[in-house]
């Protein structure tokens, strides 16, 4: 992370463009959520995601990014993020993270959800609740006057208070005319640190929460991030814009 990251302030017109691309992301997530059943392959989800994005005039943002081969990332159970879609079938009791990125007219949208497959155990339910809540706690802290790591700290404190851990090696990010812009937004850190938040900054907040250790490793496919201890992980992400009051979530319908 740069000590003094240059954080691009977006104009009202740009925020409207970002809203449009993020609405497509939200539509894809809504559609895919309804397809999460035992027996569904992750490549079926990918195909549907790509078809929806193209039908709305967008381009899948992840495909081709550093040679990533698919439209969505699908990460099951101990997979944290960046799982590659394929013939694997979802099974009852799995938890599955779906991450979607869209480029519409040069403006990017990015969001993720983690959903249960059929009935899941109590531990999985708690992990999903704590992780989704962590995202909303981060969003709550994303306001003018606060500093960047106030977001990070609030997420970490909440998650660790619930007995889970936050992944260190992957972070949230600024987003706009690029999928990844400054600043990097860790899900851990000290309050009162980092740049001051200003109206018009657009961030993708994305806590990744593990049941066990925060440590992760990358599989030999070069992409799939898994927990080092094999315990489960969850991931929720929204793209938001800092306003005069409460941040506005762009990646919702």
Q: Which are the contacts of 105, defined by CB distance < 8 A and separation ≥ 6?
A: 17, 20, 21, 57
Closer residue to ligand MF3 in complex, CB, 62/164: 62
Pick the stretch among 66-74, 109-117, 143-151, 159-167 that binds Co ion (CB under 5 A).
109-117
Are 131 and 166 in contact by the 8 Å Cβ rule? The answer is: no
By the rule CB under 5 A, 204 interacts with Co ion: yes
Question: In the complex with ligand MF3, which residue's Cβ is closer, 10 or 173?
Answer: 173
* Beta carbon of residue 223, minimum distance to ligand MF3 (angstroms, whole number): 7
Q: Judged by CB, which is closer to ligand MF3: 71, or 165?
A: 71
Nearer to ligand MF3, 109 or 194 (CB): 109
- The option from ligand MF3, Co ion, none interacting with 94 (CB < 5 to 8 A, set by class) reads none
User: Which residue is at the shortest CB distance from ligand MF3?
Assistant: 68
What are the contacts of 92-96 at 24+ separation with CB within 8 A?
Answer: 92/38, 92/117, 92/118, 92/119, 93/117, 93/118, 93/119, 93/120, 93/121, 93/124, 94/120, 95/120, 95/124, 95/127, 95/128, 95/232, 95/234, 96/36, 96/42
Please report how close the Cβ of residue 87 comes to Co ion at its closest, in angstroms.
Answer: 26
Binding residues for Co ion, rule: CB under 5 A, are 110, 204
């Amino acid at each position: 992370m740069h000590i003094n990251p240059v954080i691009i302030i977006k104009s009202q017109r740009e925020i409207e463009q970002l809203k449009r691309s993020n609405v497509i992301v939200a539509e894809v997530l809504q559609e895919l959520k309804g397809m999460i059943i035992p027996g569904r392959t992750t490549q079926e989800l990918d195909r549907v995601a790509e078809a929806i994005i193209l039908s709305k005039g967008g381009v899948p943002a992840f495909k081709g990014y550093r040679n990533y081969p698919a439209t969505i990332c699908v990460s099951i159970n101990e997979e944290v993020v960046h799982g590659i879609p394929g013939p694997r079938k979802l099974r009852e009791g799995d938890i599955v993270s779906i991450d979607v990125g869209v480029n519409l007219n040069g403006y990017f949208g990015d969001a993720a959800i983690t959903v249960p497959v059929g009935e899941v155990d109590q531990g999985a339910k708690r992990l999903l609740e704590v992780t989704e809540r962590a995202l909303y706690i981060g969003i709550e802290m994303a306001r003018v006057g606060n500093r960047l790591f106030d977001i990070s700290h609030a997420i970490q404190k909440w998650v660790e208070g619930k007995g889970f851990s936050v992944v260190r090696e992957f972070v949230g990010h600024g987003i706009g005319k690029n999928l990844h812009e400054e600043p990097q937004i860790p899900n851990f850190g000290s309050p009162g640190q980092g740049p001051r938040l200003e109206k018009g900054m657009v961030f993708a907040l994305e806590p990744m929460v593990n049941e066990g250790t925060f440590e992760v490793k990358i599989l030999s496919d070069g992409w799939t991030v898994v927990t080092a201890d094999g315990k489960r992980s969850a991931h929720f992400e929204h793209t938001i814009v800092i306003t005069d009051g409460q941040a506005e979530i762009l990646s919702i319908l």
